[in-house]
Amino acid sequence: MLLLKQVEVKNVSKTKISVNKKSEMAAKINKILFDNMVTILFIVLCIIEIILSGQSAYFILNELVARIARNSFLVLSLIIPVIAGMGLNFGIVIGAMAAQAAIIAVAHWQIKGILGFLLCILLSTPLAILLGYITGKLLNKTKGQEMIASMIFGFFANGIYQLIFLLLIGTIIPMKDPVIVLSSGVGIKNTIDLSGSIKYSLDNLIKLPLSITLAIICFGFMVYYLWKYIKKREKKNLFVSLLFIIAGGCFAVIYNYEFMLNKINVPIATMLLILALCFFNNFICSTKLGQNFKAVGQNMHIAGVSGINVDKVRVNAIIISTVLAAWGQLIFLQNIGTLNTYGSHEQVGMFAIASLLIGGATVTNADNKQAIIGTILFHTMFIVSPMAGKNLFGNAQIGEYFRVFVVYGVIGVSLGLHAWKNQYEKNKLMKQ
Amino acid sequence: MSESILEMKDIEKEYFGNKVLKGININVKPGEIHAIVGENGAGKSTLMNILFGMPVIHSTGGFKGEIYFNGKKTEIKCPKDAMNLGIGMVHQEFMLLPSFTITENIKLNREKTKNNFLSKIMGEKVKTLDMKAMGADSRKSLDKVGMTIDEWAMVEGLPVGYMQFIEIAREIDKSNIKLLVFDEPTAVLTESEAEHLIDCMKKLAEEGIGIIFITHRLDEVMMAADSITVLRDGEMVANKKRGETNVVELAELMVGRKIERLVNKNESAENEEQKETIMEIKNLKVLMPGEEVKDVSLNIKRGEILGIGGLAGQGKIGIANGIMGLYESKGEVLFKGKAFKLNNTSEALKSGLAFVSEDRRGVGLLLDKSMELNIVISSMQIKNEYLKKIGFFTQMDSKNIRKHALKMINELDIRCRGPQQKVRQLSGGNQQKICIARALTLKPEILFVSEPTRGIDIGAKKLILDLLVKLNKEQGMTIVMTSSELSELRAISDRIVIISKGKIEGILKPDDSDADFGLMMAGHYHKIQKEEL
Amino acid sequence: MKKFNKLLNRLGIARIIIILFFIALCILAVVIKLPISMLLSETIMRTGMYGILVLAMVPGIISGTGLNFGIPIGIICGLVGGLYSIEFNLNGFTGFFTAVAISIPLAAAIGYGYGLLINKVKGSEMMVGTYMGFSAVSLMCIGWLLIPFNSPAIKWPIGKGVRVTISLSERYAKVLNNFMNFKIGEVEIPTGLILFLFINCLFMWIFLRSKSGVTMKAAGDNPKFAEASGINVDKCRLRGIILSTVLGAVGIIVYAQSYGFYQLYQSPMMMGFPAVASILIGGASTNDAKISHVLVGTFLFQGLLVMALPITNEIVKEGDLSEIVRIIVSNGIILYALTKAGGGEECE
C-alpha cells in the first residue's frame, strides 16, 4: 500500500513540475514580449510595409546599408547622457552645427579626401567641446526639465548659427569665395557641394561587397561566442557559434556567384568607426568615469552626498555626447555629399532619438544593441513608407507623412510612458 | 588613561535667534559605545550636523565651541573633512543606489581602479574599475558585519534590514574609520535584526572604533551603551555610565521640565466622565509614509482639548491626516453618532472638521497668493461661501472677503501690511495664524491642529497656544492638538494620548509623573508594567 | 534704488535684454526715419492677431500644467472648424462665427482627451505636450489628404486632398479687422479685432474670479494645499487644458481671418513657440500668469519682429534677419523661464 502511495506522490509532483515549467516558460515569453513591445511592434510594422511597398530587396538593402553607415554614429552618441540621467540629448544638434562650421571652412580651403575629413575632425572637436560645456552648464540649471531645455537650446543655437553664417560671413568675418558665399557677398549659400572636399572621403577608403561583409560579421560573432564558451563552458554558446560558422560559410560561398548581395558595397572604414564607438561606450562604462555617470544617473542626491561632483559629471557627459555628435554629423555629411547649410542639422536630433527609442531604449536606459537595432528598423521604415503609402492609399505623400508621424509619435509615446511610469512609481513609494 | 577620539566642548548653535544647542559636551573614547538620547528637537540631529560639517550649519551662522579629534583641535567645514578625519555615519534614510550591486554601493566614489591604455594619456577618471579587488574588499566588510549575502547581489529588492547592514559595511570599508555614528539605526528593523545590529556594534567597538549611538529605544541603550548622554531642549541634562542608571531614570530625564499650566480646569473627575463623545475612532489604520498608524481606537469628547503626543515617526501625525482623508486609511469612525466616511477630504470638511497641517508651507498655504485668499478659499470650495451668484456664473465676493479677512486679522492679531499681502512675506507665527484663520472660517466643530508651534519663535508660540485656549473656552470648540513638544501638550490639554509604534501606548493627565510620560514616549510603559507584574 | 533693484530682479535678465533691444530698435527706427505710424499699425494688428493664441497659455499655466506646447492640437480643431465654414460656403461674419462655433465643441472634446493624458504625465507636461502636438500635426497631414471635402476652394483641382493654403479673401478675410476700424492720425486701429481680443480677455478675467477659476489657481499654485481643501486637482488641470485647447482653436481662426489664409499641413507645428515666448516676455513664469502678461508680451514680441525687418534691411541688405531675431528672442526667453522653473524645483 505504501509503495503505491509513494509512486502516486511522485507522479503528482512530476506533473506539478511540468505544469510549473510550462507556466514559467509562458511567464518568461510574456515578459520578453512586454519589455520589448515597441521594438516588436516596429518589426511587425516594417515587415508589413516592406510587403506593401513591393520594392525590390536589392533596392531596400542598398539604401539600408548606406543609411546605417551614415546614421549609426549619431545614434550611438546619445547613449552616454541617458546613462548619466540627463534623458535624451536633443542638443546633439549643437554638435552637428559645430561639424558643419568645420565643413564650411574645409570646403572653402578645398582640401580633398581623407585629409579634409581629418581636418574637419580637428576643427570641429574643440568647438564641440566648448559648445558641449555651455550646454551642460545650461542643463544643470534646468534639472528636471533637461529634455525640453536641450530641445529649446538647440533651436536657440540654430538662431545663432544662422546669424553667424547668414549675416556675419562677409561682413564681420571676411570671406571671399564665390563658390560658397552668396552672390551678394554676405552669407553662405544654401547648399554646398562637398564633392570638392570630403564627399565619400571616409566611405571610399575601403569598400567590400555585402556578402563578404556579412561573412566577416558572422565569423566575428563565431569567435565571440567561442570565446564565451571557453570562458564559461555553456553548451549553448558552442551551439550558437556553430550556427555562425555555417552562416558565414554560406555568405562566403555566395561571393562566387551572381547574387544581389555582391552588388551592394559596404563602406568598411565607416563601419569600423561605428564598431569603435560601440567599444568606446562599453569601455567608458567600465571606468571610474562611467561609474560616476551611472551613479549620478540613478540618484543625484546620493551621488552628491558620497562626494561625487554631480554638476561636473553631468557636464562631462554632455561634452562627450556633443563631440561624438559632431563626428557623427561629419560621417553623415561625407556620405550625403551635399551640405544643406541651414537645414542639414535640423532633423538630426529627432531622427537619432527616434531610432534609439525604437530599438527599445528608454529615457533612463540605453545601450549599443538598442542603438544599432533601432537605426536598422527606423531607416527600413523610412525607405519603404512612401511606396507602401502609394500602394495602400494611392498617394505616396501619405506614406511620407506617415513616417514623419511615426517619428514624432514614437518619441511622444516614449516620453509619455516614461513620465507615467515615474508618476506611478512615486505614488507607489508614497503608499509604502 | 586612553585618549578620547572625540571631544565636543561647549557646543552652542543658534538658528535665527533660536538657541538650539546651549553648551553641549560630548566625550567618546576609542572602543566606547556612547549613546545620545533625547526627544525630538532636543538637538541630537543638530549636534550630528555640526560633527559632519553639513552645509546647513555653515549657511546659518556656524556654531560656537570646539571639536577635538584624537586630541587635536579640528575644524570640520564639509562632509568630506569629516570623512577624511575618519568619521562615518550610518544614516536613517538609506543612501543606497538600487540598480547597483552591493559591492558598487559599498565602494561608491571610492572604487578601486587599475590603469589601461587611455588612462595614461587622459588621466585618473578613465581608469578601469577593478571589480575583482572591489569584490574582495566588500566581501571582507560584509563578513565583518555578519552578512552572508552575495556581494554581487543588486540592492534593489533587498529587505530593509539588509540595507542597514550594507550601509554599515560601507562605512567600515573606509580604511581610516575611527568614529562611527548610528542615527536611529533600529527604527526600521525587526527585533532580531536589531539584536544583530547591536552585536555588530559591539564587535566594531571591540576593534577600537568609537561609536555614537543615537536612539530613543531605552532598552537598546541599556543593552549596548557604555556611557549615555541625555539631551533635553538643547541642554545636556545628564551624562551617566550604564551601570549608574536605569530605563525609568532615563525616561524621566528625557522628559522632565517645569510645566506652566495655561489652563486651569477645576472640573472634577465626574464632569470628565459626563462629557459626551463627539467622535469615536475604532481601529484606525493610516498609510502615511513615515508616520504609519497601525491600530488606534480613541474617543474624542466634545469641548475638550485632546493632546496627541509621541516621538517622531511613531504615528501621531498620521491620525489627523488620516481622518481628514489626506492619506489612505482604514477603520471605523463615528462622528456625532453617525458613520463618517474616511478617505474623503471634501466630506470631512463638509461635515464640520477643519485641519491645520503640520506642513505649514507645503500643505497649509498658498505662499504666493494674498492673505485674504488663503483665509477664505477652503470655505469657498466646501461651503460655496464668499461667492456671488450671477445666473450661471459665480464670482468672488471681494467685499465680503475683504471684510472677513480684516476681521480675522483683528481677532488673531496678525501682523501684516494688509489683507492683500502675499503670505510668503509673513513671519512663521503669522503664517500659522493664517492657517488657523482659514480653519476657523470653516466654522468647524472639531479643529485638528498638528505641530501648531513648530518653527515659531517663543513669543509667537505663547500667542498661538493662548488663542487655542481662548477658542476652546469661549466657543466650546473641540480641539485635537498633535505635537512633538510634550510641554505645550501638558500646558493646555485636558488629556494626552501618547502614540508609540502606531498604537496608543497610553492616555495620561497633564500632571501625571514625568517618568510615566518618558516611559510612554519611549514605548516602554507596557514593558515596565509587564515586568512589574 | 532698492525698489529699482527689486524691479530688475523680478523682470529677470532675459526680459531686460529684450526690453533694451526693443527700445534700441525704437530709437533706430526714429533715426532711420521709418514711418512710425505704419510700424505701430502693423504691431497693433499683429497683437490682435496673435493675442488669443497667447491668451490660450494662461489657463494651462494657472492650472499647473505648465507652458502648453501642445496648443497645435487646439489649432487643428480650429482649422477643421474653419474648413467646414468654407465647405458650407459661408461669408462674412456668419462664416467667421460658424467656424468658431464648430471648432469650440470639437476642441473641448479633444482637449478633454489631451487633458487626461497630461494628467498621467505630471512633471513632463511640456515635453510630452510638444511631441503630442507634433504627432497630431503629422497625423493630421494624413487627415487633410483623406477627409472628404468638396468645396473647390478647399480641394486641389487635380489629385487628392486639401490645399496647403486656403484663401479667405473672398469670404471673411479681415472681417474683424475692418469692423468699425478707424484711424488716429496715420495709425490704423483694427477695432473689431482688438475688441474681440478684449472680450475674450474679459471672459478669462471673469472666469478667473469665479469659483472654478479660484480653485484652479489654488490647484496650480499648490496641489497639496488644494487636495487638503477638498479641491480635485486633476479636474482643475483638466479644465485648464480644455480651456486652453478651445482658446487655441478660436485663436487660429482669428489669426487666419487677419492673415487672409488658412494654413494647413506642417504650418501649425511650431505655432506654440511664439505664443509661449510672448507670454513669458510679458512677465509670466511657468506657474504664474496674468492677463496683463498676455497683452504686454504679445505687443512687445510682435513689435520687436515688426521693427526688426525694415531696420536690419537698412543695415544689411541681404537675408531675413527678422526670422533670426524671432528664433533667438523667442527661444532665449523660453530658456530663461526654464532655468527659473528648474531652479525652483531643486530648492527644498
The full DSSP string for C192-238 is HHHHHHHHHHHHHHHHHTSHHHHHHHHHHH-HHHHHHTT--HHHHHH
- Touching check for B406 and chain A: CB below 8 Å? no
Residues near B513 by beta carbon (within 8 Å), at least 6 away in sequence: B252
Task: Determine, yes or no, domain membership for C153.
Answer: yes
Measured CA to CA, the distance from residue C287 to residue C278 in angstroms comes to 15
Q: Do B109 and A295 touch (CB under 8 A)?
A: yes
B346 closest CA partner among B383, B291, B391: B383
**Subunits adjacent to chain A (3 or more Cβ pairs under 8 Å):** B, C
Please enumerate residues of A whose Cβ is less than 8 A from a Cβ of B: 283-284, 286-292, 294-295, 298-299, 302-303, 305-308, 429-432
Query: Is B487 among the domain residues?
Result: yes
Q: Specify if C77 maps to a domain.
A: yes
Q: What is the pLDDT of residue A18?
A: 57
Same domain, B376 and B320: no
Does C225 reach chain B within 8 Å, measured CB to CB?
A: yes
pLDDT above 70 covers what percent of chain A? 92
List the CATH number of the domain containing C95: 1.10.3470
Asked if the C-beta of C345 comes within 8 angstroms of chain A's C-beta atoms, the answer is: yes
- Looking at residue A199, its pLDDT comes to 80
Residue C1 lies in a domain: no
Q: Are C327 and C339 in contact (CB under 8 A)?
A: no
Q: How far apart are CA A61 and CA A48, in angstroms?
A: 16
The answer to whether residues B230 and B176 belong to one domain is yes
Domain range for C76: 15-26+33-334
Cell (9 digits) for C2: 532698492
Task: Judge whether C327 lies within some domain.
Answer: yes
State whether C123 and A144 contact (CB < 8 Å).
Answer: yes
Residue A367 has pLDDT above 80, yes or no: yes
- Res A353 pLDDT > 90: yes
pLDDT of B257: 64
What CATH number did the domain enclosing B476 receive?
3.40.50.300
User: Which one of A145, A363, A420, A423 makes the best mutation probe of the C interface by having the most chain C beta carbons within 10 Å?
Assistant: A145
For residue C314, being part of any structural domain is answered with yes
Q: Tell me: the pLDDT tens digits for A368-392? A: 999 999 999 999 988 888 888 888 8
Position A4 confidence tier, pLDDT thresholds 50, 70, 90: very low
Q: pLDDT per residue over C248-283, tens digit each?
A: 999 999 999 999 899 998 999 999 999 999 999 998
Q: DSSP 3-state assignment of B33?
A: strand
Q: How far apart (Å, rounded) are the C-alpha atoms in residues A419 and C25?
A: 43
Q: Are C258 and C49 in contact (CB under 8 A)?
A: yes
For chain C, how many structural domains are there in total?
1
pLDDT surpassing 70 at residue A1: no
Interchain pair B96, A302: CB under 8 A: yes
Are residues B47 and B168 both part of a single domain?
Answer: yes
pLDDT of residue A2: 41
Question: Do B141 and B35 have their domain in common?
Answer: yes
What's the mean pLDDT in C312-319?
Answer: 68
Which residue does chain A place closest to B52, by CA atoms? A305
Tens-digit pLDDT profile for residues A390-403? 888 777 788 888 88
The reply to whether B101 and B23 lie within a common domain is yes
Using CA coordinates, name the residue in chain B closest to C232: B346
- Residue B126 DSSP one-character state: G
pLDDT for C99-158, tens place per residue?
A: 999 999 999 999 999 999 999 998 889 989 999 999 999 999 988 888 888 888 888 888
Distance of residue B260 Cα from the nearest chain C Cα, in angstroms: 34
Nearest by CB: A395 against C134, C135, C160: C160
Note the pLDDT of residue B274: 58
Q: Which residues contact B386 (CB under 8 A, 6 or more apart)?
A: B376, B379, B380, B396, B397, B400, B401, B404
Question: Beta B179-183 vs B128-129: how paired, if at all?
Answer: unpaired
Choose among B345, B368, B394: nearest Cβ to C221. Answer: B368
Sheet order of strands, B6-15 included: B18-28, B6-15, B64-69, B72-74
For the cut 90, the answer to whether the pLDDT of residue A319 exceeds it is: yes
Domain count, chain B: 3
Helix (H, G, I), strand (E, B) or coil at C47: helix
Set of chain C residues whose Cβ sits within 8 Å of the Cβ of B368: 221, 288
With respect to residue B255, please indicate whether it lies within any of the assigned structural domains. no
Residues B338 and B291 grouped into a single domain:
yes
Residue A15 confidence class, pLDDT cut points 50, 70, 90: low
* B287/A431 CB distance under 8 A: yes
In angstroms, the CA C126 to CA C132 distance is 10
Lowest mean pLDDT among A86-95, A339-348, B13-22, B294-303: B13-22
Final residue of a domain: which of B412, B443, B474?
B443
Do the domain assignments include residue C265?
A: yes
Of C206, C211, C229, the CB nearest to B387: C211
How confident is the prediction for chain C on average, in pLDDT? Answer: 87
The DSSP line for B484-515 is S-HHHHHHH-SEEEEEETTEEEEEE-TTS-HH
Residues 395-434 of chain B with CB under 8 A from chain C are 395-396
**Residue B254 placed within a domain:** no
Q: What residues in A contact B126, CB-CB < 8 Å?
A: 284, 287-289
Alpha-carbon gap: B156 to the closest alpha carbon of chain C (Å): 24
Contacts of A294 in chain B (CB under 8 A): 99-100
Please name the member of C123, C317, C335 whose beta carbon is closest to the beta carbon of A422. Answer: C123
Looking at the structure, do residues B371 and B299 belong to the same domain, yes or no?
no
Q: What pLDDT, on a 0 to 100 scale, did the predictor assign at position C317? A: 65
Chain C: closest CA distance from residue B355 (Å) = 8
CA distance B24 to B503: 34
Statement to judge: residues B63 and B139 lie in one domain: yes
Distance from CA of C262 to the nearest CA of A (A): 20
Chain A residues with CB-CB distance to B111 below 8 A: 288, 291
pLDDT by 10s per residue, chain B, length 533: 458 888 888 888 887 777 888 888 889 989 899 999 887 767 888 888 888 888 778 888 888 888 998 888 888 888 788 888 889 888 777 788 988 999 999 999 888 888 877 777 777 778 888 888 999 999 988 888 888 888 888 888 888 788 888 988 898 888 888 999 998 888 777 778 888 888 888 988 888 889 999 887 888 888 888 999 998 878 888 888 888 888 888 888 887 665 566 665 544 444 555 578 889 999 999 998 878 899 999 999 988 999 999 888 888 999 999 999 999 999 999 998 889 999 999 999 999 999 999 888 888 899 889 999 999 999 999 988 888 888 778 888 889 999 999 998 888 888 888 888 889 888 888 888 899 999 999 989 999 999 988 877 777 788 888 888 988 888 888 999 999 888 888 888 999 999 988 899 999 988 888 888 888 887 777 766 666 65
Q: Is A260 exposed, middle or buried (0-12, 13-18, 19+ CB in 10 A)?
A: middle
pLDDT of residue A58: 84
Residues B22 and B38 in one domain: yes
State whether B156 and B293 are in the same domain. no
pLDDT in tens, A189-219: 888 888 777 788 777 777 887 777 777 887 8
Note whether B99 contacts C: Cβ–Cβ < 8 A.
no
Phi-psi region of C190 (alpha: psi -120 to 50; beta: other; left: phi over 0): beta
pLDDT of residue A19: 62
Contact assignment for C139 to A419 by CB distance below 8 Å? no
| Domain end residue (candidates: B215, B245, B275) | B245
| Residue B183, domain extent | 6-245
- What's the whole-number mean pLDDT along residues C75-90? 91
The rounded mean pLDDT for chain A is 84
With CA atoms as reference, the chain B residue closest to C287 would be B368
Q: State whether B158 and B194 are in the same domain.
A: yes
Is C172 an interface residue toward A (CB < 8 Å)?
A: no
Residue B257 within a domain = no
Residues B451 and B431 in one domain: no
Examine residue C180 and state whether it is found in any structural domain, yes or no: yes
* Residue bearing the bigger pLDDT, C323 or B16: C323
The C-alpha atoms of residue A394 and residue A388 are separated, in whole angstroms, by 9
Q: Is C141 on the interface with A (CB under 8 A)?
A: yes
Report the alpha-carbon angle A44-A49-A51, nearest 5.
100
ipTM: 0.85
* Single-letter residue type at C138: S
In this complex, do C211 and B357 lie within 8 Å of one another by their Cβ atoms?
A: no
Residue B129: its chain A contacts at CB < 8 A?
A: 286-288, 290-291
Q: What is the pLDDT of residue A167?
A: 80
Q: What is the pLDDT of residue B276?
A: 85
Residue carrying the nine cell digits 548606406: A66
> End-to-end alpha-carbon separation of chain A, Å?
52
Q: Between A and C, how many CB-CB pairs are < 8 A?
A: 140
Out of A159, A394, A407, name the one closest to residue C327 (CB): A159
* pLDDT average, residue stretch A45-71: 87
The residue of chain A with its CA nearest to that of C132 is A412
Q: Look at residue C307 in the predicted model and tell me its pLDDT.
A: 85
Inter-CA distances, A101 with A108, A202, A330, Å: 11, 19, 10
Examine the pLDDT at C89 and tell me if it is beyond 50: yes
Check residue A402 and give its pLDDT. Answer: 85
- Percent of chain C exceeding pLDDT 70 equals 96
Q: What is the pLDDT of residues A243-302, one digit of tens each?
A: 777 777 777 777 777 666 677 788 888 888 999 999 999 989 989 999 999 999 999 888
